[in-house]
Structure 1
Amino acid sequence: MYIVTGGAGFIGSAMIWKLNQMGIDDILVVDNLAATEKWKNLVNLRYTDYLHRDRFLKMVAGEADPFNVTGIVHMGACSSTTERDADFLMENNTRYTQVLCRYALAHGARFLNASSAATYGGGEFGFNDDHEGIGRLKPLNMYGYSKQLFDLWAQRAGVLDKIACIKFFNVFGPNEYHKGDMRSVICKAYAQILERGQMRLFRSYRKEYPDGGQMRDFVYIKDCVDILWWLLEHPEANGVINVGTGIARTWNDLAKAVFLAMGRKPNIEYIDMPEAIRDKYQYLTRAEMGKLRALGYTAPFSSLEDGVKDYVTGYLAKDDAYLDSRKL
């Protein structure tokens, strides 16, 4: 059995889709569905059972292995970069991950954990995923810090070379409708363009970056789950591992790609950035991808334009926000 925590979320549900592609449906989905619309991400997928996060944690807290688990893909976390409840993030993102890591290692299961590029903060120390540099990173928000704390714990506990902590950069693609304000700009822009013929981007507050010239390493969800599957199949590939494309593109580039995929001319409005996030805003992210390549991963990444086109024309334009395993 494979366990996917956050299995009804964005990357988690896409990973179940990937497992289904590989002929695997003995999957336990762990999440906290509550009154959200996340359940829709599961409708087209094949899995054995679902457990609420709290019940699942109680079951794995003991010494026995109630699931005979082969691998855990731990995507379950609060991913809001604006969440201010630090105690909640400590428990939900950091301690939860420690419990699952101990459980996986005690029972010989492969453990993949979602870290985040938010741990790199403003990028003043670069975006190198070497182990030695973990301690000097300065995240700009509590979400990033909660992820950083687990990476540091794993290093101190001497288990970082036995697990894979994946630092996802700016992931976009199907199955993100439920994320509200945390949806990718592509998802938001598509709706804006349909409604107003225009999309909005934040103004820049640093002279070296023009409006819309802030840069991100955008990576398509299908490339991400290909990497996660490869990591499940290669238990020797461990440590902190960046997952991006290695190429930084501007928000203006992204906007133009969306307009192109929709067959429209670019029409961008620049708006003020909320003051609450101005001093915590990352102006550049670019994954250094040498480690993943050195570990043996050779598949190419989708270009920004190709990923946006697939997302817009294959899902958003068809009013189908969800990856569908029945189409495989």
Structure 2
Amino acid sequence: MIVVTGAAGFIGSCLISKLLESGHQEIVVVDDFSKSGKAGNLTGKSLAARVSRSEFFDWLPRHNKEITFVFHIGARTDTTEFNMQVFEELNLGYSKKVWEACCKYRIPLVYASSAATYGSGEYGYHDRHDIVDQLRPLNPYGISKNEFDKWVLGQSETPPFWAGMKFFNVYGPNEYHKGRMASVIFHSFNQIKQTGKVRLFRSHRPDFTDGGQLRDFIYVKDVVTVLEFMMNKRPQSGLYNLGTGKARTFFDLARATFSALNLEPDIEFIDTPADIRDKYQYFTEAEMNKLRSAGYTGAFTSLEDGISDYVRNYLANNSYR
């Protein structure tokens, strides 16, 4: 059996679809299933078992010999939450227990880290282990992810294989429940449908034009393909970036969303909210040599093609993957 935590969430549920398509029949999903907004993400999926997040560590000792792999995708991902206690409980405490269980029962593990660990990028976007202690994330979410990475790298006992995947800006189907934290593509689509316009954050730095802020946007279908590769190939354990390696502007993103709807762009700029303005990343771009050196040869979907698929085949129909 394969265990996926955060299974009812955005990336977790898309990963389950990918595993099912590849013929994996015994998938155990772990999450807080009381949150009804995520229910559609698992509808119609054939699953071996559903285990509440709070009961997982009671369930695992009875079933550990049946588990062949764990994907720990579950986390609190709200970058506007500034109560560090929330992240210490879920992103640190719970993750440490998952790691320790995988060590005890000798189960391979892939877990979700984040490009938020890189902060403003003063040390670059290299997934080298020697810079992890120097990184300065801009918000408690990024801090929690980096603190877990640091803790992992300090452990003498490890699972038989492990990888911490530093997700960059992931977008795609099944993020309907994420509210403010959903991708800019999701919000742009809804703004266009409601007002005919897209509103983007104005730049508050002289070295970036309005809409010229750059991010490494990666389609969720590419993300889950890489996650499956890590499970199947199990290269050298460690931290790995997971982006496209090509930064694009928010203006490009908005223009591609209009194009997917066969509309001419109509973009206006608004001030970045004061509560996140000094925590805002103006540039991210994954350095992808480590993943390539590990043997991953797949192409990454272009921003235009990814948005076209997402808008036309999912958002336009309110469909799930």
Matched with 1:90 is 88
Q: Does the residue aligned with 2:240 lie in a helix, a strand or coil?
A: strand
Matched with 1:103 is 101
Matched with 1:114 is 112
Q: Does the residue aligned with 2:269 lie in a helix, a strand or coil?
A: strand
**What stretches of structure 2 of length at least 5 have no aligned partner?**
none
Matched with 1:218 is 217
Matched with 1:55 is 55
TM-score (norm. length: structure 2): 0.97
Matched letter for residue 295 of structure 2: G
Matched with 1:238 is 237
Matched with 1:76 is 74
Task: Deviation per CA, 1:135-189: give whole Å up to 9, x if none.
Answer: 1000000001111111101111134994100000000000000111111111111
Distance (whole Å) between structure 1 residues aligned to residue 129 and residue 232 of structure 2? 22
Asked if the contact 1:11–1:221 (Cα under 8 Å) also holds between the matched residues in 2, the reply is yes
Distance (whole Å) between structure 2 residues aligned to residue 92 and residue 178 of structure 1? 19
Matched with 2:266 is 267
Distance (whole Å) between structure 1 residues aligned to residue 55 and residue 138 of structure 2? 32
Q: Does the residue aligned with 1:225 lie in a helix, a strand or coil?
A: helix
Matched with 2:137 is 139
Asked if the contact 1:160–1:239 (Cα under 8 Å) also holds between the matched residues in 2, the reply is no
Matched with 2:13 is 13
Shift of 1:66: 4.2
Shift of 1:49: 1.1
Asked if the contact 1:120–1:126 (Cα under 8 Å) also holds between the matched residues in 2, the reply is yes
Q: Does the residue aligned with 1:19 lie in a helix, a strand or coil?
A: helix
Of 50-59 and 143-152, deviating more is: 50-59
Shift of 1:35: 3.5
- After TM superposition, the runs of 4+ consecutive aligned structure 1 residues lying more than 3 A away are 64-67, 158-162
Of 205-214 and 49-58, deviating more is: 49-58
CA RMSD of aligned residues (A): 1.4
Shift of 1:45: 1.5
Task: Deviation per CA, 1:249-304: give whole Å up to 9, x if none.
Answer: 00000000000110000000100111111110000000000000001000000000
TM-score (norm. length: structure 1): 0.95
Distance (whole Å) between structure 2 residues aligned to residue 242 and residue 102 of structure 1? 23
Distance (whole Å) between structure 1 residues aligned to residue 201 and residue 253 of structure 2? 13
Shift of 1:67: 5.8
Matched letter for residue 110 of structure 2: L
Matched with 1:295 is 294
1:144-293 aligned within 5 A: 144-158=142-156, 159=158, 162-293=161-292
Q: Does the residue aligned with 1:37 lie in a helix, a strand or coil?
A: helix
Distance (whole Å) between structure 1 residues aligned to residue 68 and residue 83 of structure 2? 34
Matched with 1:326 is none
Of 222-231 and 232-241, deviating more is: 232-241
Q: Does the residue aligned with 1:286 lie in a helix, a strand or coil?
A: coil
The count of corresponding residues between Structure 1 and Structure 2 is: 320
**What stretches of structure 1 of length at least 5 have no aligned partner?**
324-328
Shift of 1:205: 0.5
Distance (whole Å) between structure 2 residues aligned to residue 254 and residue 191 of structure 1? 14
Distance (whole Å) between structure 1 residues aligned to residue 59 and residue 65 of structure 2? 9
Shift of 1:319: 2.8
Matched with 2:310 is 311
Task: Deviation per CA, 1:30-81: give whole Å up to 9, x if none.
Answer: 0012243111100031211111101113334x6x654621000000110101
Matched with 1:33 is 33
Asked if the contact 1:202–1:272 (Cα under 8 Å) also holds between the matched residues in 2, the reply is yes
Q: Does the residue aligned with 2:50 lie in a helix, a strand or coil?
A: strand
Q: Does the residue aligned with 1:279 lie in a helix, a strand or coil?
A: helix
